[in-house]
Structure 1
């Protein structure tokens, strides 16, 4: 029979390896596609680079903490709405930067002939992400 300590060590090794694989994929996605640098360039906020770095690091650590605990917090609907708004803004900017880096929209709007309405297209995506995040946080997370 295999001792329980050996089983726990094997589970820890498998979990750590899986975490490294997912983390490497995330870093490759962010780094190779240049999502964060493009967001910084588009928003013309290069002077806040140390703050961006700290936010990405702290957000990742906080997300890991929330993933491994069963702790829940009770917030008012206003705080949840603000949280959802911030998430929606981030997701919208990330989606816009990703599509711009991959040249999805330039190809799409040239083929569809909507060059004049590009701003409205981007705003629809951003506000759609905001509305979706608010809906999720207000109705499902709360």
Structure 2
């Protein structure tokens, strides 16, 4: 392949990566995940640290994915990584649910007056048990 094609492919790949990353960060901001965490933990004065951590995590995650860096963390490290990944995905799901207002619509349609907290807790426990089984049996 000629060098100008490689340069063109690199430019297209970089542009696409910037576009996707911008979209993901826009979604994180639109969902208000960072500001919601800062508000709930009463640490709004550290919001820039949170935003820097999200940016650093995205950059490091991309570098690890692109360059296929192997991190020898062992089983404990994998468990800690899984815990943080689960918290991240759960926060996304709950923020998206809150934005879409799915819970009020669901409770109104199902005529659910009591047990909403139990229903949400059981969904969280079900996801957790499912994740443990998934990783235990190495599917």
Structures share fold, TM-score greater than 0.5 = yes
Question: What is residue 68 of structure 1 aligned with on the other side?
Answer: 66
- Counterpart mapping for 1:130-141 below 5 A: 130-135=128-133, 140=138
Structure 1, unmatched stretches of 5+, are none
Question: What is residue 12 of structure 2 aligned with on the other side?
Answer: 14
Paired with 2:108 and 2:37, the residues of 1 have a C-alpha distance of 23
Judge which range, 88-97 or 99-108, deviates more.
88-97
Alpha carbons 2:31, 2:95 under 8 Å: kept: no
- Go from structure 1 to structure 2 and tell me whether the alpha carbon gap of 1:106 and 1:24 turns closer, same or farther (over 3 Å shift): same
Structure 2, unmatched stretches of 5+, are none
Q: TM-score, normalised by structure 2?
A: 0.80
Q: Say if 2:59 is the partner of 1:56.
A: no
- Go from structure 1 to structure 2 and tell me whether the alpha carbon gap of 1:127 and 1:50 turns closer, same or farther (over 3 Å shift): farther
Q: Per the alignment, in what secondary structure is the counterpart of residue 37 of structure 1?
A: helix
Alpha carbons 1:39, 1:93 under 8 Å: kept: no
- Which residue among 87, 90, 99 is the counterpart of 1:101? 99
Paired with 1:18 and 1:124, the residues of 2 have a C-alpha distance of 39
Structure with more contact order per residue of length (Cα contacts < 8 Å, sep ≥ 6): 1
Q: TM-score, normalised by structure 1?
A: 0.79
State how many pairs are aligned. 139
Alpha carbons 1:40, 1:46 under 8 Å: kept: yes
- Counterpart mapping for 1:70-85 below 5 A: 70-85=68-83
- Which residue among 5, 26, 29 is the counterpart of 1:28? 26
Paired with 2:8 and 2:91, the residues of 1 have a C-alpha distance of 40
Q: Per the alignment, in what secondary structure is the counterpart of residue 72 of structure 1?
A: coil
Alpha carbons 1:87, 1:133 under 8 Å: kept: no
Paired with 1:125 and 1:10, the residues of 2 have a C-alpha distance of 47
